[in-house]
Structure 1
């Protein structure tokens, strides 16, 4: 029925929790790794700068033939050079990239599709029943009659169960204490009665049993659901209005 489909839907939604936890764990791990690599990149950056200059000049004085010869030969040794070298370890450092909003959205899409499939599976099951009813109308009619009779049987079983429970409560009831409760206003402030069906405390809208010797208390919704008949003082073999109508409906459904 509807409760079974709802229960199955809730179970399937609960099965979506492990993928959601895994996705959150992946996001958290990605953020931790990005933060760690960013710190490493920021604090491990090293830059080397090396500059040097070299100048060699040999001067030979004099005007003699030997001086001119030395100037022409040793002058080739005069050199001048400058060197500037810069080096960094940027190529060896990690280059982390944070996830963008589109990355987060794309990672959420499969999980969102899974949740939508879980929610739409109930309607797919109902559509399956509609298709089967279209091709097999007699079988669908038998199924509806079976479910209707099952609901009627459960209703009758509930009425009988409540009748037996209220009868047991009436047998355990203390008439002397009930009389004191009805006669003594002070005792009403100390003791508080409850509905025999749902257990709600007595209020101004509560309905006591019309029989003076019974004193069973009902809340207004339970009194209306029981057909305004007290099960504590009604004989067990006496049919109630709800039972008779249910029996008539059962015979009609059969």
Structure 2
């Protein structure tokens, strides 16, 4: 009976493992798209903060360079002297004498009440303004972990549907693996018919001549390209020299 486990390297990269702490390749594209949606909000926030700082600068310049102060001083003295000792002179002196006035006036005024009084935002206020956007970006990064529970929730409420999906995925992977092995056999056969290049021949000769170079000049699996490990197996044909990892072998 054919089995799927262990998965090949190409197959494992297309699956999401719920217990894996790192963000995996299928989740990365969705996460990047969510972060790209935050860019218009970020640009709008930068525009608003820049506009606020620009308006504050303009009003501050007006406040400091448009201040005008006026000072007005005046002095008024009025004195009426009526000469004579007659009754009419005495009457006029008592009546017109009330017009004798003397006063000094000093007035100071300015346009301070009409000038704007701008109040700029502090660094903490700017930080509080950007904090919701930062929280939104953080949620875009962390939402991949709650999304991994969707499979378990759907399986709990719809077990029959889950079984159908598992069977479909199983058959699909079997077909893909069969086609993959067929294509890889053809590729390996074509490579075997071609003579090795100068670089490949020099690498093989160096490995045979100085075995201690094998730690530095490691080969890779012919099929999947996995770097050489002690578990890799060479082809039993002495004229082949191909190397295969354990799953591909």
Length-normalised TM-score, structure 1: 0.64
Rate the CA distance shift 1:72–1:118 in 2: closer, same or farther, 3 A: same
Task: Identify which range, 31-40 or 108-117, moves more after superposition.
Answer: 108-117
Question: Could you say which structure has the higher helix fraction?
Answer: 1
Q: How does 1:62-211 map to 2 (within 5 A)?
A: 62-101=84-123, 103-144=125-166, 146-147=168-169, 150=172, 154=176, 157-158=179-180, 160-173=182-195, 181=202, 204-206=215-217
Q: For 2:187 and 2:180, locate their aligned partners in 1 and report how far apart those are by CA, in whole Å.
A: 11
Q: Does structure 2 retain, via aligned residues, the 8 Å contact 1:55–1:79?
A: yes
C-alpha displacement of 1:96:
1.7
Length-normalised TM-score, structure 2: 0.65
Indicate yes or no: 2:227 matched with 1:222: yes
Q: For 1:170 and 1:136, locate their aligned partners in 2 and report how far apart those are by CA, in whole Å.
A: 50
Q: Deviations over 1:192-230 (max 9, x none)?
A: xxxxxxxxxx97533579xxxxxxx99x95344994234
C-alpha displacement of 1:154:
4.9
Name the structure 2 match of 1:15: 37
Q: For 2:199 and 2:137, locate their aligned partners in 1 and report how far apart those are by CA, in whole Å.
A: 57
Name the structure 2 match of 1:58: 80
Q: Deviations over 1:22-63 (max 9, x none)?
A: 101111111111011100111011121212221111233454
Q: Deviations over 1:93-133 (max 9, x none)?
A: 22222123554344324423432442343234322222111
Q: Secondary structure at the match of 1:94?
A: coil
Q: Per chain length, whose mean CA-contact separation is higher, i.e. which structure has more relative contact order (CA < 8 Å, sep 6+)?
A: 2
- Listed as ranges, the gaps of 5+ residues in structure 2 are 1-14, 17-24
Q: For 1:88 and 1:124, locate their aligned partners in 2 and report how far apart those are by CA, in whole Å.
A: 64
Q: For 1:182 and 1:60, locate their aligned partners in 2 and report how far apart those are by CA, in whole Å.
A: 134
- Listed as ranges, the gaps of 5+ residues in structure 1 are 189-201, 210-216, 235-239, 245-254
Q: Does structure 2 retain, via aligned residues, the 8 Å contact 1:55–1:80?
A: yes
Q: For 1:11 and 1:57, locate their aligned partners in 2 and report how far apart those are by CA, in whole Å.
A: 92
Q: Does structure 2 retain, via aligned residues, the 8 Å contact 1:163–1:231?
A: no
Rate the CA distance shift 1:127–1:183 in 2: closer, same or farther, 3 A: closer
C-alpha displacement of 1:75:
0.8
C-alpha displacement of 1:21:
1.1
Q: Give the length in aligned residue pairs.
A: 216
Q: Does structure 2 retain, via aligned residues, the 8 Å contact 1:47–1:89?
A: yes
C-alpha displacement of 1:65:
4.3
